[in-house]
Structure 1
Amino acid sequence: MDTTTRANRDAWEAASEKHVREYSELLAQAASGTSLTTLERDLLHDVLRTAPDVVHWQSGHGTDDIGLLQAGARSVTGVDYSEVAAGAAQRRATELGADCRYVVAALPGAPLADGCADLVYTGKGALIWMPDLQAWAADIVRLLRPSGHLFIYEEHPAAPLWTWDPDEPGIRPDRSYFAPSHVNDSFPAGGAVQWQRTLAEIVTAVTSAGLRLLHLAEHPEPFWRMGGVHAAAWNGRLPNTFTLLARRLNG
């Protein structure tokens, strides 16, 4: 693990303590299935009705995994480099009797067998921690069975540029859409390095790895809002998230 990844992991470990403190609230959220949004359910409907085995890359606190099971997944394996997050997620899944298991590991390089998944699900603050998109995409393809799917619901690459001004949306003067990275001092990053890339770079990594693009859309709604913040950038005029669905080519 390189120095930057290790520092990022330490920041995420510290942020994940919040998930432990909020265990009861997250348990209720997981049980309700509301962490998996209507948008995600609609886009994944045809995939989930086939009862897929799911690998959740960078699974975090794991509340989405219960929603995936409720929507039709046969099993979910979560992979995250935070021992705190994975431990809390496993405890919640066990308490709810859900068929989820969690593995602590840095990614890419998931310690899982080739062809173990019908669906790799990721996003909601995951891609910003991946310095090498080509290695990221190749490892996902390795995990997928023939005709398996990748689904991403993620922060739009332009969203880190928006100011949180409550009156008018603006662009931060200290960030660039084309910069390789930036340091984020807000929660949950805590001073960690977040990797910046364009939407074109993400799509190119996916398709170059051997996945066929089935769906790509940009959305004005953020997947997460900082408590107490009411940013004009979230009011429908700017892209804040995107969804992507792709299928592995056979062979």
Structure 2
Amino acid sequence: MPDESPDDALAAAGYREVPDTQGGRAARGWWDANAQDYLDEHGDFLGPADLLWCPEGLRESQARLLGDVRGARVLEVGAGAAQGTRWLRGEGVDAVATDVSGGMLAAAARLDAATGTRTPLVQADARALPFADACFDVVFTAFGALPFVPDPDRVHAEVARVLRPGGRWVFSVTHPVRWAFPDDPGPAGLTATRSYFDRRPYVEQAADGHVLYAEYHRTVADHVADVVTAGFVLDGLVEPEWPAGHDRVWGGWGPVRGARLPGTLVVRAHRPPS
């Protein structure tokens, strides 16, 4: 992790409006700075080559939310260290990983070296994908891209553009109901303290006011509307339950809250055949 400059020290955090341009570009710098710390904390659970959909522990090897990907060309956006893409390639799938963060892609290259694999890695904003129209059969992301931009409609539009007719789009995000509750994995996280309909992002700022981190809230209805407006057909919503015996705490996720509140929403959709 690079040394933090005084200008980047956290001075304020909370739910507040910030200019879209500032909030939308903060993710790249934050993930560049925190990529290795994130993997040091969560890498054992994520694995070097596995498609984990959520902190509840739902994995693609069990859930098969992408459907049959034999012979498909697959794109992962907001791939982080590309664990999901790496797993798919190990299954014989032609898969490509993209992420806006060079720090995360550098971590992906280190995982490739450690595992003796070779994963196609492309640095790209999910709102401006550097691929031709209709060149993928499946696009997915697990907690990537969508939470960190004020304009998720652009992500959905780009995914629709690069998907072939009939292609599938699957993504997971923090369950929107969680935004009404404190981000606490214990009993304090079980009492709603904010309106579910308050769409102000969670923002961390430096002393001069510039945005260090921003995460955006969309209601369930917002997510569905975004998907449908982009021209997709909604195939289903998945709310993974917290499994018995799963004791891992990850941020606000843990067995106490997981027994009572949904933590993840997975959306499955497809582009209609032409």
Say if 2:180 is the partner of 1:161.
Answer: yes
Following the alignment from structure 1 to structure 2, what is the Cα–Cα distance between the partners of residues 27 and 39?
11
Q: Residue 108 and residue 193 in structure 1: after superposition, are their counterparts in 2 closer, same or farther (change >3 A)?
A: same
Partner of 1:204: 225
Shift of 1:94: 5.3
Q: Residue 158 and residue 80 in structure 1: after superposition, are their counterparts in 2 closer, same or farther (change >3 A)?
A: same
Q: What amino acid maps onto 1:178 in structure 2? A: F
Conserved in 2, the CA contact under 8 Å of 1:52 and 1:73?
A: no
Conserved in 2, the CA contact under 8 Å of 1:121 and 1:152?
A: yes
Shift of 1:123: 2.5
Conserved in 1, the CA contact under 8 Å of 2:140 and 2:170?
A: yes
Following the alignment from structure 2 to structure 1, what is the Cα–Cα distance between the partners of residues 166 and 189?
41
Conserved in 2, the CA contact under 8 Å of 1:90 and 1:101?
A: no
Conserved in 2, the CA contact under 8 Å of 1:53 and 1:76?
A: yes
1:176-223 deviation line (CA, Å, top 9, x unaligned): 3222233256xxxx9512111101111111122121112212234399
Following the alignment from structure 2 to structure 1, what is the Cα–Cα distance between the partners of residues 265 and 220?
9
Q: Residue 51 and residue 184 in structure 1: after superposition, are their counterparts in 2 closer, same or farther (change >3 A)?
A: farther
Shift of 1:26: 6.0
Q: What amino acid maps onto 2:103 in structure 1? A: V
Unaligned runs of 5+ in 2: 1-19, 205-210
Say if 2:273 is the partner of 1:250.
Answer: yes
Amino-acid identity (%)? 26
Conserved in 2, the CA contact under 8 Å of 1:56 and 1:78?
A: yes
Following the alignment from structure 1 to structure 2, what is the Cα–Cα distance between the partners of residues 228 and 149?
30
SS state at 1:202 partner: helix
Q: Residue 103 and residue 26 in structure 1: after superposition, are their counterparts in 2 closer, same or farther (change >3 A)?
A: farther
Following the alignment from structure 2 to structure 1, what is the Cα–Cα distance between the partners of residues 264 and 253?
17
5 Å-filtered alignment, 1:10-89, equals: 10-18=29-37, 29-31=47-49, 33=50, 35=52, 38-41=58-61, 42-44=63-65, 46-48=67-69, 50-70=70-90, 72=91, 74-89=93-108
Partner of 1:233: 257
Greater relative contact order (Cα < 8 A, sep 6+): 2
SS state at 1:46 partner: coil
Partner of 2:8: none
Following the alignment from structure 1 to structure 2, what is the Cα–Cα distance between the partners of residues 228 and 218?
16
Conserved in 2, the CA contact under 8 Å of 1:19 and 1:26?
A: no
Shift of 1:122: 0.8
Following the alignment from structure 2 to structure 1, what is the Cα–Cα distance between the partners of residues 26 and 147?
14
Unaligned runs of 5+ in 1: none
Following the alignment from structure 2 to structure 1, what is the Cα–Cα distance between the partners of residues 240 and 94?
29
236, 254, 258: which one aligns with 1:215: 236
Give the aligned CA root-mean-square deviation in angstroms.
Answer: 3.3
How many residue pairs end up in the alignment? 241
Conserved in 1, the CA contact under 8 Å of 2:51 and 2:60?
A: no
